[in-house]
Amino acid sequence: MRKIYRLKKRERQIKLSERLHENPFLTDEELAERYSVSVQTIRLDRLELGIPELRERIKNVAEQKLEQVKPLQRYDITGELVDLKLDQSAVSILEISEEHLVSHTLFAKDHYVFAQANSLAVAVVNAQVAQTGAARIRFIRPVKLKERLIARAIARSQQKDKTIVRIETRVQDELVFSGSFHVYKVMDTHKA
């Protein structure tokens, strides 16, 4: 009986490792549901495999992607940059914590949702310095404490100095924010 258990455990760990390699942003709860085991079992599997917890995985991916970003520094990006293809697309994740909340509520301040989208729009543009010149945005619903915002940017049209970037922010599969950002490449950063 012990041998059968170990074989099942080993197969699950192989699949777990492959799945997290494909998508490092899965939570222990999502993995537990997927493999029909407890969250504690997933944590033990990750520990045995040397796979860090979600926050550490996000941080590692973000640090790798941040090296590609020219116009922004680490402190300029709201959320964790987890994917970047310059002049094409980008993805960031922002977990809503108490510091993001409107006083005495469980709702996030809207400027954090906007800042995540805006900094992602600027990050996707391949320029030494880029700034948002205009934005048309829509807040679809308030964002709550402990929700994980996944913002996706797509560079739609590019002209010499301007790129239009479409942003959609979701909580799981639900759209909570969208916007179209006109991002301009700043050619001369020093005026005489």
Instruction: Give tens-digit pLDDT for 107-136.
Output: 999 999 999 999 999 999 988 888 999 999
Asked whether the domain spanning 68-185 has the same topology as the one spanning 2-51, the reply is no
pLDDT for 64 equals 61
**Contact of 129 with 191, CB cutoff 8 Å:** no
- Global pTM value: 0.64
Domain 68-185 has CATH 2.70.98.60: no
Say which CATH topology domain 2-51 has: Arc Repressor Mutant, subunit A (1.10.10)
Query: 24-71, pLDDT tens digit by residue?
Result: 778 888 888 888 899 899 888 888 888 888 777 776 666 665 555 554
What does the domain layout of the chain look like in residue ranges? 2-51, 68-185
Higher pLDDT, 22 or 119: 119
More confident residue, 105 or 60: 105
Report the pLDDT value the prediction gives residue 61, as an integer from 0 to 100.
66
108 close to 100: Cβ distance less than 8 angstroms: yes
Strands (DSSP E) along the chain, which ranges?
80-85, 89-95, 130-139, 148-158, 162-171, 174-185
Decide: helix, strand or coil at residue 141.
Answer: coil
